[in-house]
Amino acid sequence: MFFDTENFCAKLTEEELIALNAGSSLVTIKRDQAIPEETRKHHPIVAISSGVLSLQHMLHDGRKTIAAILMRGDILDLRSSSKTQLGSLIALNTVTLCRLSPTVFDASIANNPRARTLAWDNITNQTFRAISHAADLAKKQALEKLASFIFEIRNHDTRTISKDHVQIPIRRRDLADYLGMQPETVSRCFKDLAGRGIIQVSDLSAVRILDAPLLRRIANGDRGPLKTTRADGSCFRILAAGA
């Protein structure tokens, strides 16, 4: 309900789909592959059918940042971003893209209210997600960022089977680049949360939330009433009291 996860392509009318087929195409991109500049030029509008696409910035001295992750249903309009140093679009796992012809896209937006609403809702939500992510990065600590991320993933795909079971679709290293931290720190934070019994990490890509309220509080930066030096680990105990 957060937003419609249906693919934009799937919402077009029949005649639009016919026009679409003329100027568009479905492509698959494997992990670590980028959408080539050439493709971006000829198909500046893409909708993601499956997989996770990342928007990466390279800091020229090697530091890599994943500025945003795009998932099923997200629409990317790269027309106005030619001048902006947007960065590279790199697949974090196998990604299926629906490449749209600008002409067809614009026509759909103009004439098909469902398509228009869908596109507008998606782009609006992308903005809010990006803003929310920026807020996470700005002032939160590592543990809080990770907690936020778990909820972000959980909320993103409404088709999630269980509310407690979150499927992490990307590697640890990519997660680190997305959250602005180091893989080592990500690892330590997972261990910390698991050690407190807040989450359970079975597989590297599978997390089960055991104490959602507490995880939420951590994500919201509620460090509990105390900020004192936990010489005796009292901070842990108080935080874990909600379990």
Partner DNA sequence: CGGCAAGTTGAGCCAGGTCAACTCCGGTGG
Partner DNA sequence: CCACCGGAGTTGACCTGGCTCAACTTGCCG
For binding to DNA (CB under 7 A), which residues are involved?
A: 141-143, 171-173, 180-188, 190-191, 201, 204, 229
Decide the pairing of beta strands 95-100 and 75-77.
Answer: unpaired
Decide the pairing of beta strands 206-209 and 199-201.
Answer: antiparallel
Compute, in degrees rounded to 10, the torsion defined by CA atoms 81, 85, 86, 89.
120
Any contact of residue 163 with a second copy (CB under 8 A)?
A: no
**Is 115 or 199 the residue whose CB approaches a second copy more closely?**
115
Any contact of residue 139 with a second copy (CB under 8 A)?
A: yes
- Per CB under 8 A, the list member of 5, 96, 126, 185 interacting with a second copy is 126
The answer to whether 115 and 11 have CB atoms below 8 angstroms apart is yes
Any contact of residue 230 with a second copy (CB under 8 A)?
A: no
**Is 63 or 208 the residue whose CB approaches a second copy more closely?**
63
Q: Which tokens go with 104?
A: 């067809």
* Residue of 218, 210, 133 lying closest to 166 (CA atoms): 210
Which positions lie near a second copy, rule CB under 8 A? 1-3, 55, 57, 59-61, 63-68, 77, 80-81, 83-87, 109-110, 113, 116, 120-121, 123-128, 130-135, 137-140, 177-180, 220-223, 227
